[in-house]
Amino acid sequence: MEKLKRELKEQIIELLNLEDIKVSDIGDDTALFGESLGLDSIDALELIVLMENGYGIELANPEEGKDIFATINSMADYISKNKK
Amino acid sequence: MSYINSYCHISNDTVKINGENSTSIDSDSIEEIIRELYLSLELKYSKFHKMDQLSKIAFIGTELIKQANPEISKSGENDIALLFSNSRSSADTDIKFQESYQNGGIPSPSLFVYTLPNILIGEIAIRNKWYGENMFTISSIFDSEYYANYCNILIKKNAEAALCGWINVDDDKIEAFFFFVTKKDLKQLNLPLDSNMLEKIYRQD
Amino acid sequence: MITYIGSENIISPLGDSARENFIKVKNNETGISLFSGIGVDKEDLYLSKIGTLSDNNKFDVLLAKCLDSIIKESSDNIINSKDTIVILSTTKADIQENLTAPIQSSVEKIKVAYKLHHTPLVISNACISGVLAMNTANNFIQSNIYKHAFVIGADVISDFVLFGFQSLYAISNEVCQPFDKERKGISLGEGAAGVLMSSESSVFKKEALEFVEGTSSNDANHISGPSRTGEGLYRTVQKTMELANIKSSEIDFISAHGTGTLFNDEMESIAFDRLNMNNIPLNSLKGYFGHTLGAAGLIETAISMQSIRTNTLVKSLGFEAEGTSGGINILTQNLEKEVSTILKTASGFGGCNASAIIRNI
């Protein structure tokens, strides 16, 4: 699980071009869409692509993403339960 | 009548402000050149890193023009028109977006939003809170006559100033030219705007 | 000096002339239908697609057909005059055929085929391109740079654009329902439309209307999400009314943008509420034509000009129950009334917004 969380942080930084952010800046419980990372609605859609490309998980509705992408913990939790 | 108060050329190896060399660029790849220019601005704007190449160059050019015209910040928020054009539209990003969905891939939303050339105007407007006139045109060559005509029209009608740019970027070449036009002559360059003058300074690169 | 506007034309699945299109729209017929297996995951989707033209070279064919029709409705030879500019409005032109230079060859072809004095000006400013093109024509004419402007907008459906909007989850799985409570996104459309604008009323074969004024404004908020306060739309409409010296009480009808996405339509309702335009009858025509991007502003203006000519406002197709918070007067049925002054608005990616006022003379 720790490996997955680290991998997610690296992928998010790379995928969403968070140049000024380091892995150590993202806590497992940091709100991804809060002030600290400043992600927006397009980033949320890009995370849906990451779920499909990286973990084979398809989200039917972007609304589902709201809870799943809340924190690294919630993402890792969802991936480990649904990974194909 | 309106006046050119500053202008800026960006190419792969130099930045020139008002025709004078201001920065030499050491990097090779387009990505590194843009990064080097951003770092030389010494500012922190996290949205920058999300932009496509075209918007990044527009952002850098705008910041350089602002540095050369501290007066610009005194303009009213509705008073600066943004007029941009190029010959390639958003081709650089269009190619990347098409690659994202070809061969069964998933189309990338963050690339798709940059497949319109006027997005760079939006980026400049957001950064500076400028609510004025917007216009993106596509022409095969830099059209000094259009620029001179349309700047003068908007400045006469409902703008105090216009920030204009011509930006093309592909895998190995940046060609960008920016100029800032105001209703009042700020006596920086003593350059009344007309198409001949504009053509001349565009070609100074 | 007056800028005249007329000779309007529309080419869409509903027909090849403004009149033909208006009659179909008045009968509340839509050009949108279901196409199977066209989505990025081979899903069935609704489009407003022109079946009578081959997809091959469709963009150029649309431009030429549209220009021909306007030329037919105007004085001989003004297209070749040194006082004439052709303004083209498009977002992606022929992107499917030519990814790196989708517009240049079309511009060259038109310049040569119609023996134009000036190279056409291409405006590519997302979904406000069409309205911006008319505003630009008006500005040129009012400044005596040109006397006449042929303003044409066109866009065609491509995998590129369809898959792109799918990646944003912005495509409805039903026919689009602008402003409705149940709206789920856009239906993509294709087509062309155009008008002639001129400082001389004599160049029009049928009676022309007046293009009073038009402006644009940016939200300065987000590149793809509409402003929550409708900032840019509010500002451009205010500017246009101020320059036109027209009060909102004088506007008989609003031809809104109304794409059918949750956030866009809500944004528009908020802007019109802030402008105290709650009672002015309003429609979105996307339920008839889909979202035709660079052609949309011109298609919707041409239909609105027919509304002025016939004193008939058409209902906002797909709208049943109020689904926006601004409290606006969306047309639920056609309405016969005197229509003298209309407001056309458009909003698009990049935070851009544009507006224009046209009136009967």
Region B9-24: mean pLDDT is 94
> In this complex, is the C-beta atom of B96 within 8 Å of any C-beta atom belonging to chain C?
no
What distance in Å separates the CA atoms of residue C164 and residue B94, rounded to the nearest whole number?
A: 11
Paired sense of beta strands B14-17 and B3-10, if any: antiparallel
What percent of chain A is predicted at pLDDT more than 90? 73
Helix, strand, coil percent values for chain C (each to nearest 5): 30, 25, 45
**CATH number of the structural domain B3-202:** 3.40.47.10
Q: Is C53 exposed, middle or buried (0-12, 13-18, 19+ CB in 10 A)?
A: middle
Three-state helix/strand/coil letters over chain A: CHHHHHHHHHHHHHHCCCCCCCHHHCCCCCCCCCCCCCCCHHHHHHHHHHHHHHHCCCCCCHHHHHHHCCCHHHHHHHHHHHCC
What distance in Å separates the CA atoms of residue B67 and residue B45, rounded to the nearest whole number?
A: 16
Cα C13–Cα C48–Cα C120 angle in degrees, nearest 5: 75
Residue type, A16: L
Region B178-198: mean pLDDT is 91
Burial state string for B134-155 with b = 16 or more CB within 10 A and e = fewer than 16: bbbbbbeebbbebbbbbbbbbb
Confidence class of residue A76 from pLDDT cuts 50, 70 and 90? very high
Region A16-39: mean pLDDT is 89
What distance in Å separates the CA atoms of residue C311 and residue C29, rounded to the nearest whole number?
A: 19
Residue A44 has, within 13 A of its CA and on its CB side, a CA count of 23
Instruction: Give the count of beta carbons closer than 10 Å to the beta carbon of residue B106.
Output: 19
Q: Do C224 and A42 touch (CB under 8 A)?
A: yes
- List, in order, residues 6 or more apart from C334 with CB less than 8 Å away: C26, C28, C312, C313, C314, C315
* Token pair listed for B86: 């190029």
Please give the pLDDT value at position B72.
85
* Token pair listed for C67: 């220009």
Q: Is the pLDDT of residue B74 over 80?
A: no
Q: In this structure, what are the phi and psi dihedrals at residue C276, rounded to the nearest 5 degrees? A: 55, 40
Length of chain C: 361
Please give the pLDDT value at position B71.
81
> In this complex, is the C-beta atom of C230 within 8 Å of any C-beta atom belonging to chain B?
no
* Token pair listed for B158: 């409902």
C46, C174 in Cβ contact below 8 A? yes
> In this complex, is the C-beta atom of C126 within 8 Å of any C-beta atom belonging to chain B?
yes
Confidence class of residue B193 from pLDDT cuts 50, 70 and 90? very high
What distance in Å separates the CA atoms of residue B66 and residue C284, rounded to the nearest whole number?
A: 40
Please give the pLDDT value at position B205.
65
Give the containing element (helix H, strand E) for B174.
strand B174-182
C118, C327 in Cβ contact below 8 A? no
C212, C316 in Cβ contact below 8 A? no
Closest CA to C54 of C182, C190, C166, C147: C190
C328, C277 in Cβ contact below 8 A? yes
CA A79 to chain centre: 10
Residue type, B109: P
Q: Do A41 and C225 touch (CB under 8 A)?
A: yes
What distance in Å separates the CA atoms of residue C65 and residue A77, rounded to the nearest whole number?
A: 57
Between the alpha carbon of residue C202 and those of residues B187, C73, C148, C156, C193, the distances in Å are 46, 11, 11, 33, 22
> In this complex, is the C-beta atom of A52 within 8 Å of any C-beta atom belonging to chain B?
yes
- CA torsion sign, C96 to C98 to C102 to C105? negative
3-state SS assignment for residue B121:
helix
C162, C169 in Cβ contact below 8 A? no
Q: Do A45 and C167 touch (CB under 8 A)?
A: yes
* Token pair listed for C301: 């203006």
* Token pair listed for C179: 């402003």
Closest CA to C359 of C285, C305, C297, C298: C305
Count of domains for chain A: 1
What distance in Å separates the CA atoms of residue C119 and residue C116, rounded to the nearest whole number?
A: 7
Paired sense of beta strands C209-218 and C253-255, if any: unpaired
Q: Is the pLDDT of residue B145 over 70?
A: yes
Please give the pLDDT value at position B23.
87
Helix pair angle (A41-55, A2-15), 10° resolution: 130
> In this complex, is the C-beta atom of A62 within 8 Å of any C-beta atom belonging to chain C?
yes
Domain housing A56: 2-82
Q: Which domains does chain C have, with CATH numbers?
A: 3-203 (3.40.47.10), 212-359 (3.40.47.10)
Please give the pLDDT value at position A34.
80
User: Taking the domains of chain B in order of start, what are their residue ranges?
Assistant: 3-202
Could you tell me if the ipTM is greater than 0.90?
yes
Cβ-based contacts of B112 with chain C (< 8 Å)? 164-165, 167-168
Please give the pLDDT value at position B187.
79
Residue B11 has, within 13 A of its CA and on its CB side, a CA count of 11
CATH number of the domain residue A29 falls in:
1.10.1200.10
C36, C19 in Cβ contact below 8 A? no
Q: Do B158 and C232 touch (CB under 8 A)?
A: no
- List, in order, residues 6 or more apart from C112 with CB less than 8 Å away: none
Q: Do B49 and A20 touch (CB under 8 A)?
A: yes
Mutate to test the interface with A, among C168, C169, C261 (most CBs of A within 10 A): C169
Give the closest-approach CA distance of B23 to chain C in angstroms: 30
Q: Do A18 and B108 touch (CB under 8 A)?
A: no
Low pLDDT (below 50) residues in chain C: none
What percent of chain B is predicted at pLDDT more than 90? 85
